[in-house]
Structure 1
Amino acid sequence: MAKLFWFLRRDQPLELYFYVVPKLCLGIMGYWPGPNDKRRWSAYINFVVLAVGVATELHAGFMSARCNQISLALEILCPAFTSAVTLLKMFLMLRYRQHLYYMVAQQRELLFGSGIAGEAYEIMRKNVLMATRFNFWPVSAGFSTCSLYILKPLLLALLLYVQGRIDEMVWILPFNNTVPSVLLRSPYLLPTFVLSAYTGYITIFMFGGCDAYYFEFCVHTGTLFKSLQQDVQALFQPYEGELYLPRIDGVHAAHFERALVLLIERQNRIIELTHFFCQRYRTITLLHFVSASLVIAFGIFNLLTVGGSGLGTLLYVSYTVAALSQLLIYCYGGTLVAESSMELAVVMSTCPWQLCQPRLRRYVHLFILRSQRAVTIAVPFFSPSLVTFAAVCAPLANCILYSFPLDCWHSFQILQTSGSFIALAKSFQ
């Protein structure tokens, strides 16, 4: 077990942690970007398999809704919508394959290009370990949820068998796909069951891989800004405690100017890379938040209506936890980037920049002004942050624990749909 989850330990070389979780998840599905445009056939095969699974799940869900089986329809549509969003993510990952590889290569160069030592090494090791363990949590939560979906029909059949009610045994698929009845009989039942279960694991690894890529990029961007802060302090350290002006002049000014220009260029490069990432990932981020609202809504609705079904309750709790975990990944990543970029202004302003010549002071002032505007992972209508996540969780917890109506206009519209469904569910009780 220790060898299987080696990336969760602290004793591995630093570079091995770099994008290890997204590389593992996306690599299994054939979607990890490489240095050339060579694409694996497994990527296209998994795309087609999931597309068939999504189409059959959506059909089954809408048919149940037409028959007024609302609870069953939501139970089917909950994983179906997640799989549908995953299908769109797979398309976008293929489309931006080379761009994703470019961003990984640029971050690797910025982080490891000039070598790491001292305090910068410790900061980076702490951050990459945190990113790896944080990313592993939603992947493992999603994996357990998918496994519960697969085990549910097997456990129900086993229970009927143990009770001697073999005549009542009805074999169903893990995700209630609409399939011809002949595929639900021997000898086609087993491959049909395996194929339906496999679509769930495609969703988990692709969903987890895309989210892990997002969070890794945010963590490493925050690390780059932290490293830049240290270099700013190191640049001014020889002049700390000086009382007379000007002190940075002559040959010192020339060396100082070259070093300051390099820092400014590095800041610009990090900001430009972040904007490049936002343009490619904004659709994926927006799709994730929309799907999270639906998953939370359907999960809470079913949780409040399944009653005393222990296995069903465990299933919906697991699904809601997985959705909130993935939501936390996006919000925490956005906060790391925004706060670390703004801290640059604080660090620079506390340095003895007044010792510089007037021309160098203008460089410093422009550096501070640019740093005062946070670099955000912005998407249409909002920017992911822990403030957004807190606004999501607080009214959700109040609604569940204290039966308060869920009003989320003050936060972000991602829980509008969830609030409506939860209020509807409470009215049925």
Structure 2
Amino acid sequence: MGVLFQLQENCLRAMGHSHAKESTEDRALSLKHISSLLFVVSAQYPLISYVVYNRNDMEKVTASLSVVLTNLLTVVKITTFLVYKQDFWKMMSRFRKMHQQSSPSSRSKDGTDYVTEANKLATFLGRAYCLSCGLTGLYFMLGPIVKGVASSWRGTLYVRELPMPMKFPFNDVDSPGYEVCVLYTVLVTAVVVVYASAVDGLFISFAINLRAHFQTLQGEIKNSDFALPEKDTQAGLKSLVDYHDLLLFLSRKLRSIYTPTVFGQFVITSLQVGVIIYQLVTSMDSVMDLLLYASFFGSIMLQLFIYCYGGEIIKAESLQVDFAVRLSNWYLASPKLRRSLALIIQQSQREVLIRAGFFVASLANFVGICRTALSLITLIKSIE
């Protein structure tokens, strides 16, 4: 098996969760996740206080709002994990079992295993996303340090700043309040990065594996010889129908697990785009701020891209099953077998969509949000 699904396991273990059967251990883990959830929620108070305190300064308000929205999205993801944490393990176990039972037809024409290649891609995307989130958090943490060093080098007065735009109900500028607030901010940022990376990494891994199994199904259908006697092909065709039903079930399961996250991702990202674009346009004279907001913007767009790309590949490959049947020698099958093939065609003609309400995870919607971002840049520049 090698490193198959290692990314998923690392994501789950990064959140402190193992496949425990003991109820006492499971309760302890749930308590840990609830504590993490409450910890992240607690950060909303100093963030919103900062917005209220600086309500007349649009630049500071937007700086805080972008972090408030990111924190809110993390709350949604932690809640999703708390509700469906056992389903993550069940899906991973199911994919492992399916890979163990895969036939030689699960390989492409050049002999490459679809699922193995899928996991290589999932690992690459997962690591790229984790790196992006980590670097963005690191930029926030290093910002005050870099500004302090720059002020000392120039010989100018430097007023202490917290890594995140927060306002605490006590003195957060002088010691020891400042150090306590910095430590609190670092811990909150670490929890946000770990949970966001874990939940998003699991989604893209499951989506890419589903695509690989849809490709495997297509290969098995194309390689089936329906010219053989009905008795010889009936069992094989039944396994194809069952395989297709299983993939459709897993697709629906993935959609149900991630419905809250997909909805929150689209709504919150749409709001974040407007806020961060304003920050980018109004920070052109500060290289440090420009790099910070550009990194932040790239991170949230990569976050959205993961869901849109995952939804797109599942939709595309599920529709290709129809063409696989048409490219096979179905016309040589008996009337009874043709009815089973017709069932596969009928099911595959329905788009398998990862959606939440009126939001559909697709590349078309991702491009639409990118166009909106460009339009906002033009609009803000024209107003200025």
Q: Same fold (TM over 0.5)?
A: yes
Query: Contact 2:223–2:328 (CA<8 Å) still a contact in 1?
Result: no
C-alpha deviations, 1:83-119, integer Å up to 9, x for none?
1110121122111111222122222222234477754
Q: Which amino acid aligns with 1:185?
A: D
1:18 aligns with 2:8: no
User: 1:128-207 counterparts in 2 under 5 A?
Assistant: 128-165=119-156, 168-207=157-196
1:320 to 284, 289, 297: 297
Query: RMSD of the TM alignment (CA)?
Result: 2.1
Q: Aligned to 1:214, which of 191, 203, 220?
A: 203
Q: 1:27 to 1:170 in 2, by over 3 A?
A: farther
Change (3 A) 1:186 1:395: closer
- Residue in 2 aligned with 1:374? 351
Kindly provide the amino acid, as one letter, of the partner of residue 293 in structure 2: Y
Partner of 2:224: 235
Q: Which residue of 1 aligns with 2:15?
A: 29
Deviation, structure 1 residue 35: 4.5
Task: Check whether the contact 1:135–1:329 (CA below 8 A) recurs between aligned residues.
Answer: no
- TM-score when normalising by structure 1: 0.82
- Partner in structure 1 of residue 311 of structure 2: 334
Identity %: 21
For residue 339 of structure 2, what is the aligned residue in structure 1? 362
Cα separation, 2, equivalents of 1:368 and 1:192: 59
Structure 1: runs of 5+ lacking an equivalent? 1-13, 240-246, 404-422
Structure 1 residue 348, shift from structure 2 partner: 0.7
- Structure 1's 17 and 234: CA in aligned 2 closer, same or farther, altered over 3 A? same
- SS of 1:136's partner is helix
User: Does the residue aligned with 1:172 lie in a helix, a strand or coil?
Assistant: coil
Contact in 1 for aligned 2:260/2:356 (Cα 8 Å) = yes
Which residue in the other structure is 2:53 paired with?
Answer: 63
**Aligned residue type for 2:252:** H
Over 3 Å counting, the alpha-carbon distance change for 1:64 and 1:183 in structure 2 is closer
Correspondent of 1:301 among 278, 285, 293: 278
Query: Which residue of the partner structure matches residue 95 of structure 1?
Result: 83
* Cα displacement (A) at 1:26: 4.4
How far did 1:144 drift?
1.2
Please state how far the C-alpha of 1:347 moved relative to its aligned partner: 0.8
Q: Which runs of 5+ in 2 are unaligned?
A: none
Instruction: Decide whether aligned partners of structure 1 residues 26 and 69 sit closer, same or farther in structure 2, where only a CA change above 3 A counts.
Output: farther
Provide the rounded CA distance (Å) in 2 between the counterparts of 1:199 and 1:17. Answer: 31
Residue 398 and residue 74 in structure 1: after superposition, are their counterparts in 2 closer, same or farther (change >3 A)?
closer
1:85 counterpart = 2:67 = no
List structure 1 segments (4+ residues) > 4 angstroms apart after TM superposition: 114-118
| Structure 1 SS opposite 2:165 | coil
Distance 1:69 1:395, change over 3 A: closer
How far, CA to CA, are the matches of 1:180 and 1:43 in structure 2? 26
| Contact residue 5 and residue 92 of structure 2 kept, 8 A | no
CA distance in 2, matches of 1:395, 1:95: 33
- Partner residue of 1:43? 33
| Offset of residue 387 of structure 1 | 1.7
Q: What's 2:330 paired with?
A: 353
Amino acid of the residue matched to residue 201 of structure 1?
A: A
* In structure 1, C-alpha distance between the alignment counterparts of 2:344 and 2:45, rounded to whole Å: 52
For the residues of structure 2 that align with 1:160 and 1:258, how far apart are their CA atoms? 76
| CA apart distance, 1:51 | 1.7
Structure 2 counterpart SS, 1:178: coil
Higher relative contact order (CA 8 A, sep 6+): 2
The CA distance in 1 between the partners of 2:99 and 2:211, in whole Å, is 11
Give the deviation of 1:428 after TM superposition. 3.6
String of CA shifts for 1:20-61, please: whole Å, max 9, x gaps: 1x543443232x462436143543442232121122212222
CA contact (8 A) 1:85 1:287 kept: yes
What is the DSSP-based 3-state SS (H/G/I as helix, E as strand, rest coil) of the residue aligned with 2:217?
Answer: helix
TM-score by length of 2: 0.91
Task: Report if aligned partners of 2:49, 2:168 keep a CA contact under 8 Å in 1.
Answer: no
